[in-house]
Amino acid sequence: MTRRCYAAAQLFLASLAVISSSAVVAQSAADYPHKPIRVIVPFSPGGGSDVIARLVGARLSERLGQTVVVDNRPAASGIVGTDLVAKALPDGYTLVLVTSTHAVNARLSTKLPYDLMRDFAPITEVIASPFGALLQPSLPAATMKEFITYAKVNPGKLNYGSSGPGSSAHLATELFMSMAGVQMTHVPYKGVAQYVTAQLGNEIQFSLSNMFSTMGHWKTERLRLVAHTGPRRLEAFPDLPTIAESGVPGYESSLWYGFMAPARTPRPIVTKLYQEISAIVRASDVRQMLVAQGNDVITNTPEAFAQVIKADAEKWGAVGKRLGVKLD
Q: Compute the Cα dihedral for 59, 192, 129, 265 and give only its sign.
A: negative
Do 96 and 146 lie in a common domain? Answer: no
Q: Is 15 inside a domain boundary?
A: no
Our measurement of the distance from residue 298's CA atom to the centroid of its chain's CA atoms, rounded to an integer in Å, reads: 13
E strand or H helix at 10, and its extent?
helix 2-30
pTM: 0.81
In the chain, the number of structural domains is 2
Do 242 and 203 lie in a common domain? Answer: yes
- Which of 197, 226, 246 marks a domain boundary? 246
Q: What is the pLDDT of residue 20?
A: 47
Do 142 and 241 lie in a common domain? Answer: yes
Burial of 250 (C-beta count, 10 Å sphere; 0-12/13-18/19+): exposed
On the question of pLDDT at 57 being above 90, the answer is yes
Per-residue pLDDT reduced to its tens digit, 184-219: 999 998 878 899 999 999 999 999 998 888 889 999
- Which of 223, 246, 269 marks a domain boundary? 246
Segment 296-300 shows an average pLDDT of 93
Do 232 and 144 lie in a common domain? Answer: yes
Lowest mean pLDDT among 14-23, 83-92, 299-308: 14-23
Per-residue pLDDT reduced to its tens digit, 145-163: 999 999 999 999 999 999 8
E-strand ranges in 218-325 read 224-228, 254-262, 296-297
Alpha helix stretches (DSSP H) within 125-232 = 144-152, 168-180, 192-200, 215-219
Q: For residue 79, give its domain range.
A: 27-129+254-323
Q: Is 311 inside a domain boundary?
A: yes
- Give the Cα separation of 239 and 61 in Å (integer): 38
**CATH number of the domain where residue 147 is located:** 3.40.190.10
- Give the Cα separation of 228 and 257 in Å (integer): 18
Percent of the chain whose predicted confidence (pLDDT) is above 90: 68
